[in-house]
Copies of this chain bind each other. A is one copy, B any other.
Amino acid sequence: MTDSLPQFHGIIAYPVTPFDASGAVDEAALRRLIDRLIGDGAHAIAPLGSTGESAYLSDDEWQRVAAISIEQVRKRVPVIVGVSDLTTEGAAARARFADQRGGDAVMLLPVSYWKLSEAEIHAHVKAVAHATRTPVMLYNNPATSGVDMSPESIVRMVNAIDNVTMVKESSGDIAQMTDLVAGTPDQFNVLAGSATTFYASLCVGATGGILALACVLPEACVRLFKLTRDGRHDEAAALQRRLVPVAKLVGSLHGVPGLKAALRLVDCDAGLPRPPLAPVSEAVMASLREVLVSFEEVALV
């Protein structure tokens, strides 16, 4: 890791979208969550990603969550707004909105229904990037988008589109991340999207991570980042090993339902996920409680 940190670095918290008992967006809870994340040391906030259930929001809801999030952050840290949409026009409109409301960057996942070719992805990213004056962060997450952008294709977009300046790599493949760091200009940022390989990502050159886990254990995530930056590798590796069981339960294994369940346990209730997503079972809730307790740093409600 370099000493001079770029604008987007460290722990970029990836908030959920809280819903109230009727299933509507819970504005008060959203504002509280953002304040809590900044208070716990998050270096930036990235609303309306996968974790923000943006795929399940109406256009009106999406605009409301974007506007509230930017406003509530009040320029204390940068805001990176997720603008992914199935159509190019829809994603471009969201990028325009985020820019106009004062977002600092936009994040774009090439979600697809029909599989997209590399040329289709390139044109899509280009059109969305041209709709905003902010930096654009590409988001590679084959598990949800159905598309694995190769390091080569990402490098081509970085070179061809001026404001594509960051990538969030969520495949968890460290060889692919190393390739990305090696193949892109020094001022380009690579950020980790997988908490189970966050420390390894930092080692090979990532400048930070956009982590759902930071909603549940923000201080531990910030500590892992700082330990690595300070060269305290043995402590960082040990902390990463302790974080893996939690990261699996609130990430790959149970997604947003797992994360919203964990938030309830750490006294930061954000309501239930939106159907078809369903709350986790009692058994999963018990496992979550167990790994959080054994992590020994959280007081559960």
Chain A residues close to B by CB (< 8 Å) = 1, 23, 50, 55-56, 86-89, 110-117, 119-121, 123-124, 127, 143-144, 146, 172-175, 178-179, 181-182, 194, 196-197, 199-200, 203-205, 231, 233-234, 237, 240-242, 244, 255-256, 274-278
SS class, residues of chain A in contact with chain B: helix
State in angstroms the CA–CA spacing of A121 and B275 once bound together: 10
Residue ID in chain B nearest A56 by CB atoms: B87
Residue ID in chain B nearest A145 by CB atoms: B113
Q: How far in angstroms is the closest Cβ of chain B from A227?
A: 12
The residues of B that contact A146 with a CB separation of less than 8 Å are 146
State in angstroms the CA–CA spacing of A196 and B113 once bound together: 21
Query: Which 8 pairs between the two chains have the least Cβ-Cβ distance?
Result: A55-B113, A124-B276, A88-B275, A175-B196, A182-B241, A200-B200, A114-B255, A203-B203
The residues of B that contact A87 with a CB separation of less than 8 Å are 56, 274-276
CB–CB A123/B203 < 8 A: no
CB–CB B178/A241 < 8 A: yes
The residues of B that contact A182 with a CB separation of less than 8 Å are 241-242, 244
Contact partner of A178 (CB less than 8 A), chosen from B55, B112, B197, B274, is B197
CB–CB B114/A256 < 8 A: yes
Contact partner of A197 (CB less than 8 A), chosen from B116, B175, B181, B234, is B175
Residue ID in chain B nearest A203 by CB atoms: B203
CB–CB A179/B123 < 8 A: no
The residues of B that contact A203 with a CB separation of less than 8 Å are 199-200, 203, 233, 237
Q: How far in angstroms is the closest Cβ of chain B from A115?
A: 7
The residues of B that contact A112 with a CB separation of less than 8 Å are 276
Can you list 23 pairs linking A and B with CB atoms under 8 Å apart?
A: A50-B114, A55-B86, A55-B113, A56-B113, A110-B276, A114-B277, A115-B255, A116-B276, A120-B275, A127-B275, A172-B173, A173-B173, A175-B196, A178-B196, A178-B240, A178-B244, A182-B241, A182-B242, A182-B244, A200-B203, A203-B233, A204-B241, A205-B241
State in angstroms the CA–CA spacing of A234 and B111 once bound together: 35
The residues of B that contact A197 with a CB separation of less than 8 Å are 174-175, 178, 200
Contact partner of A124 (CB less than 8 A), chosen from B1, B234, B275, is B275
Q: How far in angstroms is the closest Cβ of chain B from A126?
A: 11
Q: How far in angstroms is the closest Cβ of chain B from A255?
A: 5
The residues of B that contact A111 with a CB separation of less than 8 Å are 113
